[in-house]
Every structure is written in C-alpha cells, then in structure tokens.
Amino acid sequence: MPAGSGFGVENLPYGVFRPTGARPRVGVRIGDHVLDLAAALDDPVFAEPSLNGFLARGSTEWRRVRDEIVALLTDPARAAEGATALHPLADVTLLLPFEVADYVDFYASEHHATNLGRLFRPDSAALLPNWKHLPVGYHGRAGTVVASGTPVVRPAGQRKAPSDESPVFGPSVRLDIEAELGFVVGAGSAAGEPVGTAGFAQHVFGVCIVNDWSARDIQAWEYVPLGPLLGKSFATSISPWIVPLDALAAARVATPPQSPEPLPHLREVTDWGLDIELAVELNGETVSRPPYAPMYWSPAQMLAHMTSNGARLRTGDLFASGTISGPERDQRGSLIELTWNGAEPLQLADGSERTFLADGDVVTIRATAPGPNGTRIDLGEVTGRVAPTPT
C-alpha cells in the first residue's frame, strides 16, 4: 500500500467491481488494490453484483466484517491469504455500488440556500420561513442515479426566459452541478415507525460523493408550485466507494448552532456534523473547495425528518445533503452560485470562461476527511462528462 494513502486500513470503503473476464462482486479498496471479499471471507453475499445483501444484515454485522477485514490485512500470519484475493485497481471496472431503492435530496446548507434566496428573491428574506424549522427536501428519481464515469446527456425540456413570451422546448442552456454528500441506508425500518436521530448509525451504513446535475432553466420554469421534477431527474452521479460511518469517527464534529431550537423529534442525541472537505474540478481545474462542516442540518436530522411521518426506510435508500457551500466565494458548490447566476463568469486557466456547463466539459468532485492518528480518509471521486442532447 502506498505510504500516505487515503485508502488505508483506517478507511476500507466498499464498492462493486468487475475483474477482467469475471462477474461483478463486492470488494473493499486498500491502497491501489481491491480486496475481493467473496474470495477473502468465503461469504456468498459478496459474490453478488451489489452491496444490498450485505447492507441488509445490519450494523452488528457491518462492524464484525470490518474487524475481520482489518485482521486479514494487518496480521502478518494472514498476509499470503489476503494477497491471493487482491486485484490491482487498474485491472478492474468499478460499477454502481448498490441498487438504489429510493432517493431523496435535501437542501441543508444555509450558505447555499441564502445565496439562492438572494439571487431569486432580492427584495425578500433570503431564507423562507420554514427553512430553519425542518430540513427541506424533495423525492428524486432513483432510476437515474448512475455510477461515476457515466456520460451525462444534456437534458431537453421546457424553458422560458423572462424575456420570452411563451415557453420553448429544447436542450438546457443552463446545465449545472451540485457538490453533495450522499448517505446510504443499510437496515430498513417498519412503516409507521419513525427513526429518530439516535437511530442514525443503526440504519445508515456509509457515505459517498454525489453530483446532483441540475438543469436550472428547466427547473426554474417547472418548479412552481410543486418543486423540482425534470430539471433534476435526468442524472445523479455517485462515487464508486461507500465509506462506512465507522471510518469517519475522527471526522465527526458538532453540528452548527441551530436557532430556533429544533422541535424535539429533530434534536440530536449526539452530534453528526462531519468535517469533510470537497474539491470541485472543471476540466481538471479546481474551481471550488466546499466544506461540509458548516452544513446547518445534520444527516441524522435529515433521516429523522424523512421518516417522521412514518415513511419506512428500505435497504439501498439514498439521501443526499443538497449543495454544499461555505461562506466564501471559492467554497460555493454549484455554478449558479460561483457565477452568480451567470453574471460573473468563471475565468478558466485555458482562457475560456463558463457561466454554466458546455458539451464536453468534465466535472470531478473529490472529498477527504480526517482519520485517526493524523491520517486522511479519502472518499474517492465522482466524475462525469457532459454529452450533447441527441438530435
């Protein structure tokens, strides 16, 4: 394992990979290799092409298997045993790590929500009256969650600029990204039984990076009065590695102060803020470094709100944080903020400029977090290239 790797035994993220000439199966990343868990642990659940079977076993089993993997990789007496199940990362194909059951996207960054409020409601309060009372969110479309590296086809839809007399149908001209974290549900819950904030770690297995691609022009025309639909449902990209919550223990921080105090069902028993740093690259150039730590609503509160009406959780549910933005301009997690809705174009190193995405643009979002004893935990990356609308 390379010295200083963010994929050491402190991390051990899970994914699904396909070796050359073989069927997909579950593995964990260690350095620049993937450990084939079906071979290493002789457990058929890891021979499946998704994590769902393992996720459904619950938190006790998640921890037992993690301990077994650590022992396999650190015990000199078992070194040969583990080596036979290792595949070089360069020799495998990484796939969607789990089958997505439901997908919910939140709007949990106060800085992001404030920026958009200032853009679109300059003569009113930036935050709507409900924003500090509950984590605002919407249901997405699970079937359009795709693996990192999948091309993102520019969506077509209805759009109407303020100067247009009537709407037109055609390719989006304001294609955007949203840098987010995703939280993967392992253990489900019964219908009618809300999951409180204290149940977060018993139900949520781990964390991934999310790019919630957004067609801002389609979204702006369609969202009143019921919210996002086609402007958000064409593609959501996720990273190939799911980092277990147990790997992020050193990254846990206090959730920012919340005023007014949340209602009892949203109060945290323990803090689930996370000190995770993201970096957004456009065509290889870093254009933003959003910090997750200032996010107003924690993932435990998102989960509690999502189930507070009795909605059940299912293995493979994915819920995302919404755009992660910090207080500084270079910490904004979307182009609509970075360019202030197109009024302040990004100047790129190659001399070009962007307000929104052009065909052929490649967006990569990376993330890291503190690990134990001064190490870093690498969450990997999620990447996608914009493909033109089919003619």
Catalytic residues: 112
SS3 31: coil
DSSP string, 346-366: EEPTTS-EESSPPTT-EEEEE
Q: Is 180 annotated as a binding residue?
A: yes
Answer yes or no: are the C-beta atoms of 14 and 28 closer than 8 Å: yes
CA angle 377, 269, 127 (to 5 degrees): 80
Q: 68 in helix, strand or coil?
A: helix
| CB 316, CB 213: distance < 8 Å | no
Q: Is residue 141 annotated as involved in ligand binding?
A: no
Check the annotation: does 178 bind a ligand: yes
Per the annotation, does 158 bind a ligand? Answer: no
Is 301 known to sit in a ligand binding site?
no
The letter for the amino acid at 182 is: G
Instruction: Supply 234's token pair.
Output: 């064409």
3-state secondary structure of 390: coil
Are the C-beta atoms of residues 359 and 390 closer than 8 Å to each other? no
- The response to whether 223 counts as a known ligand-binding position is yes
Q: Which residues pair with 369 in a beta bridge?
A: 377
Q: Which two tokens stand for residue 342?
A: 């197109």
Q: Which two tokens stand for residue 341?
A: 């809705």
CB 40 within 8 A of CB 27: no
Residues with Cβ within 8 Å of residue 295, at least 6 apart in sequence: 108, 109, 110, 255, 256, 273, 274, 321, 324
Distance between first and last Cα of the chain = 47
Sheet holding 285-288, edge to edge: 152-153, 376-387, 362-370, 277-282, 285-288
* Measured CA distances, 299 to 34, 132, 295, 304 (Å): 28, 15, 9, 9
HSE value, Cβ hemisphere, 13 Å, CA-based, for 147: 14
Check whether 75 is labelled as a binding-site residue.
no
Q: Is 105 labelled as part of a ligand binding site?
A: yes
Give ∠ CA 223-225-230 in degrees, rounded to 5: 25
Contacts of 110 (CB under 8 A, 6+ apart): 127, 131, 256, 294, 295, 296
Annotated binding site for substrate: 107, 121, 219, 223, 323
Please report, in range form, the residues annotated as the binding site.
105, 107, 121, 178, 180, 212, 219, 223, 232, 236, 323
Annotated binding-site residue numbers for Ca(2+): 105, 178, 180, 212
Q: Write out the binding residues for Mg(2+).
A: 212, 232, 236
